[in-house]
Structure 1
């Protein structure tokens, strides 16, 4: 009878371990992550070789003028851009916004007298239009924002590493948890870069201040989700001494998954509503947040935690522990 009970316990543990082998499938998760960040890396290489910058920069960083016009009839961006080219602005960029009657043009800074001349030329060729947006900005503002953002990310990474090393000091190798959290953070930034690169090719999106703000927000969400899972791993390591880290990690992910997913779905519903009804001004910001939040949830479960286990096992690819293999062999069919 006792033997039967022991066999039942072994079989139950084996089935539980087989059912929730999330970190053991890390080869799949790492491959998905690689496919997600690869477009961004390739785009950075291509953009650096063609334009000398890592990403396509808006006038928030390069300096210039942004002019958005809405016409009574559809207007081709190339035809409108030709007006600026004829006026001497050969590096002008023009593209549709919202529909084929609204065109946004980006070009070098001009004074009001020059603007009036170009405006008159546009009216003569395409008719009257509504000016929805006109702003000029200097490159110094972009440089300041970029420097502040870079310092913020570096400071956040150092503080995250220090906090996790201190908070997890009771377990073995707390430093590894901090490194994994930062790796997930970098993963999410690269995913947003990949998203920007794809949208740049499709819709002409560029890196602006709102995109940078969205990326910094994504970093905060990503770290929060990762810390939640890591904290549960720390608690379970105390409760279940002797269990391999992979089994503890799987159990911790399952225990926190419902909370993490429910929180993110609630946030995504709000962001989706703003994306749909908030207008074109917030479109890049909201779309980036949505992609970043999804990536943050994914990286917390399928990137950060498997990285810690992989480091512990000394292998990026899963290796079944001896105790698990023994239970699988002895468990009844």
Structure 2
């Protein structure tokens, strides 16, 4: 039988390095915010004699070639187009209008105006508050659901640690991709992070539920062996679920539109991290907490214990 829990120090070290690089990237480079967060310019046009079908992904590619990265393109009716662009001066829209007219035919400008961020500080704060409230709910729910096993509070706490781990992995990756590839964080990124959090909690609870069953079944067995056995039992399910999701997401990433490509990439990163954290972080952390290994990470506690000895 694989000794996954016995390799917990390796997993903890690996995660610390990954999270450290991501946090360092966020502190040094920051996260590039798209116009969903920063605001920009709204340009709407109507084609009077549409020559070819409008594909938003093609318009996004054209705008990127012109230097307008992070643009959001939507169709309006059968022959209209709505573009959300970085802040532009009135004279700067002319090359865009000329390019659209050359590609799709004669057009009429419907509006050109500056707009505020679609996803403002208030929306972001509410999302963070929602995650915080959900975390408290998860903690209380798991503490109640696992009330028949010793230390039920620890199951909820370690599930939240895994949740935060996965969110930081995605955000850190966004900072790195923003620096080297110019990727920006938009409203879909916020959606991806919330989706990853839900996936992470679900996968962790599946593992913990098997730990609860086996702990009641094998009362005399060492806790570390019970947890390792439970992880092995759920490993096939976790991997199969992960692969099913990855195959679908990869197909969308390769053959889907440009407008959702980054969103799918964030989901892939988050889903991989979610499966890894459930198996290699949450469950091992539960064992480390049970055996008192976490106290060694606190210098004051460790020194006090040594002095007492």
Q: TM-score, normalised by structure 1?
A: 0.71
Structure 1 residue aligned with 2:26? 44
Equivalent of 2:11 in 29, 38, 42: 29
Structure 1 residue aligned with 2:231? 253
Equivalent of 2:249 in 271, 279, 289: 271
Matched, 1:290 2:268: yes
Shift in Å at residue 136 of structure 1? 6.3
Shift in Å at residue 144 of structure 1? 3.3
SS in 2 for 1:65: strand
Larger radius of gyration: 1
Equivalent of 2:181 in 203, 217, 220: 203
User: Is the alpha carbon distance of 1:141 and 1:109 closer, same or farther for their aligned partners in structure 2, counting shifts above 3 Å?
Assistant: farther
Q: Which moved more, 1:248-257 or 1:34-43?
A: 34-43
In structure 1, distance between residues paired with 2:113 and 2:286? 48
| 1:90-105 equivalent positions in 2, closer than 5 A | 94=69
User: Is the alpha carbon distance of 1:306 and 1:145 closer, same or farther for their aligned partners in structure 2, counting shifts above 3 Å?
Assistant: same
User: Is the alpha carbon distance of 1:243 and 1:220 closer, same or farther for their aligned partners in structure 2, counting shifts above 3 Å?
Assistant: same
**Is the 8 Å Cα contact of residues 42 and 114 (structure 2) preserved in structure 1?**
yes
Shift in Å at residue 212 of structure 1? 0.6
**Is the 8 Å Cα contact of residues 155 and 208 (structure 2) preserved in structure 1?**
yes
SS in 1 for 2:148: coil
Structure 2 residue aligned with 1:107? 86
Aligned-pair Cα RMSD in Å: 3.3
Matched, 1:62 2:44: no
SS in 1 for 2:41: strand
In structure 1, distance between residues paired with 2:34 and 2:64? 21
May I ask how many residue pairs the two structures share in their alignment?
267
Contiguous gaps of at least 5 residues in structure 2: 44-55, 73-82, 106-111, 297-309
Shift in Å at residue 95 of structure 1? 8.0
Equivalent of 1:306 in 280, 284, 298: 284
User: Is the alpha carbon distance of 1:273 and 1:124 closer, same or farther for their aligned partners in structure 2, counting shifts above 3 Å?
Assistant: closer
SS in 2 for 1:139: coil
**Is the 8 Å Cα contact of residues 145 and 209 (structure 1) preserved in structure 2?**
no
Contiguous gaps of at least 5 residues in structure 1: 1-18, 48-53, 82-92, 98-103, 319-333
Equivalent of 1:118 in 63, 87, 92: 92
User: Is the alpha carbon distance of 1:242 and 1:208 closer, same or farther for their aligned partners in structure 2, counting shifts above 3 Å?
Assistant: same
In structure 1, distance between residues paired with 2:152 and 2:57? 55
User: Is the alpha carbon distance of 1:217 and 1:70 closer, same or farther for their aligned partners in structure 2, counting shifts above 3 Å?
Assistant: closer
In structure 2, distance between residues paired with 1:294 and 1:66? 36
Shift in Å at residue 272 of structure 1? 1.0
Alpha-carbon displacement from aligned partner over 1:43-76 (angstroms, at most 9, x marks no partner): 22114xxxxxx522111111113789969xx999
Shift in Å at residue 35 of structure 1? 2.2
User: Is the alpha carbon distance of 1:140 and 1:285 closer, same or farther for their aligned partners in structure 2, counting shifts above 3 Å?
Assistant: closer
Matched, 1:159 2:122: no
**Is the 8 Å Cα contact of residues 60 and 137 (structure 1) preserved in structure 2?**
no
